[in-house]
Structure 1
């Protein structure tokens, strides 16, 4: 059914769809848009930001057709409050958290690096607005380092800003999305790449990223076509290439 719905979009009159997308999914979304527009003729506009801020914008009437969050909680709240189309919510990706430094051989063990605190600043996203920031806090709490590291933490409004803190070397390392590292280092040689610790899943709660069709896009054929496209093999292949897991696709 998903394939049929997506394919049907290629036969319909081209439309437009507006997305509100979690910042960690920026590069992935841009590649998805290229494929979707080429296959369907529909046009896509996307606004990127922290899940918490996008959620607030939607609650205040932002005219998005689709909300692609970095958690499951906000889409569930939107569905419950009637701002989203009931039954349209599903998990489109499971994110991976990483500790990353653009400096080669910055550490041999990420856990030891954090414990030794041999850095001036450590970047992370705001746990209150960004699910990846919440995951970073969970890691530090699990390691008993949340309070000891308070004076060294620099918080970005979104995971995109946290990543920029590290790239610009305003922080020596940071908690980022694995997808960001993959996108950044894709064109670099092994000698140019930084140091990465793929944080074990046991240290933080799963980052199940859910999407929901918003009430604003309920009658938008292009928006419904985008929702179907996200569940296609073509889209899932792109999502996997950016380091995401593809798990259960239907919301409970």
Structure 2
């Protein structure tokens, strides 16, 4: 092998090492945050997380479930750094228990409840299908762990229908499972978060009645930085991003109020 050829190959190798090192260094600067997200907020946070990663280079690692279940997991040492709950009471409780970063809690959205069926025309615009009580199954999320399930029971109580429909209720562990019962036809109708069936001003499938807010307590959804995220700058960056205009536009598009 000629000396010139050796020199060229050596120079190429050094350039390759520099390029790989730069790439690794760049990747190394990218951070991530572990976020526990109430199931009703699945679609919005996926869209917000994609924008966040595009704008900051940092990643949101989201887990979805019922707010009450997340509370138990956080108390038992789960590695979540940020919590996006489906209520305001659970984050407040964690705050009083010293599990959160002081001053980080805020309401990121106020949700709406909807009575939904996967069948077109099945649910009327006034929710009278409930009073007729001609269905076999009514799906709700577990009211003990899911705030939207609790709101559903409050609405049924206000309507005077709780006892009449009680034998027909099927409970999902969270609001996503309740929606799945309806989507698969295992329940003709049920209560879901409006955000699960709504996008840009219209119902995306089936038929629905948006339950008047007067029939249940306000569904204020709070976010908070947990103690495990206090030393992670990406946790605060994500919370700040959630308060910004780009995230707000996404949140509104799914039927939430700010």
Aligned mates of 1:137, 1:203 — CA distance in 2 = 10
Aligned equivalent of 2:69: 53
Query: Which of structures 1 and 2 has the larger relative contact order (alpha carbons within 8 angstroms, sep 6+)?
Result: 1
Residue 15 of structure 1, CA deviation: 1.1
1:55 alignment partner, SS class: helix
The answer to whether structure 1 residue 149 and structure 2 residue 149 are counterparts is no
Aligned equivalent of 2:237: 225
Aligned equivalent of 2:118: 102
* Count, aligned residues: 230
The TM-score normalised by the length of structure 2 is 0.86
Aligned mates of 1:48, 1:201 — CA distance in 2 = 25
Aligned mates of 1:14, 1:46 — CA distance in 2 = 16
Deviating 4+ runs (over 2 angstroms): 107-111, 185-188
Q: What 5-or-longer segments of structure 2 have no aligned partner?
A: 1-27
Structure richer in helix, relative to its length: 2
The answer to whether structure 1 residue 121 and structure 2 residue 161 are counterparts is no
Most deviating of 108-117 and 169-178: 108-117
Residue 230 of structure 1, CA deviation: 0.5
The answer to whether structure 1 residue 16 and structure 2 residue 32 are counterparts is yes
Cα gap change, 1:187/1:159 in structure 2, threshold over 3 Å: closer, same or farther?
closer
Residue 110 of structure 1, CA deviation: 4.2
Aligned mates of 1:129, 1:223 — CA distance in 2 = 25
Residue 27 of structure 1, CA deviation: 0.7
The answer to whether structure 1 residue 73 and structure 2 residue 89 are counterparts is yes
Aligned mates of 2:123, 2:54 — CA distance in 1 = 43
Greater Rg over alpha carbons, structure: 2
The TM-score normalised by the length of structure 1 is 0.88
Where does 1:155-174 land on structure 2 (aligned, <5 Å)?
A: 155-174=171-190
Aligned mates of 2:222, 2:228 — CA distance in 1 = 18
Cα gap change, 1:107/1:48 in structure 2, threshold over 3 Å: closer, same or farther?
closer
Aligned equivalent of 2:21: none
Aligned equivalent of 1:89: 105
